[in-house]
Structure 1
Amino acid sequence: MDEATWAALTVVLTVLGVVWTVVAFRRRGAANGLRALGFTLLPAAAWLTGTLRMFTEIGSAVSRWATSLVLDPRVWTGVGLAGTAAVLIVLSGYLRARQLARGQGRTPLPEGPRGSSGAVLAEPRGAGSGEAVQPRRKGTGDSELDEIEELLRRRGIQ
Structure 2
Amino acid sequence: MPDFNDLTLLPFCVGLTLLGLIGSWVAWRRRGLAAGTRGVAWSLLPIALYLTKLLELVWDVVRSAVTWVTHLIFSPPVWAGFALFGVSVVLYVVSGVARGRSPKEPKQPKPKAKPAGELTTTGPAPASAAPAKAAPPKTKGGQQDSSDFDEIEDILKRHGIN
TM-score after normalising by structure 1: 0.40
Larger Rg: 2
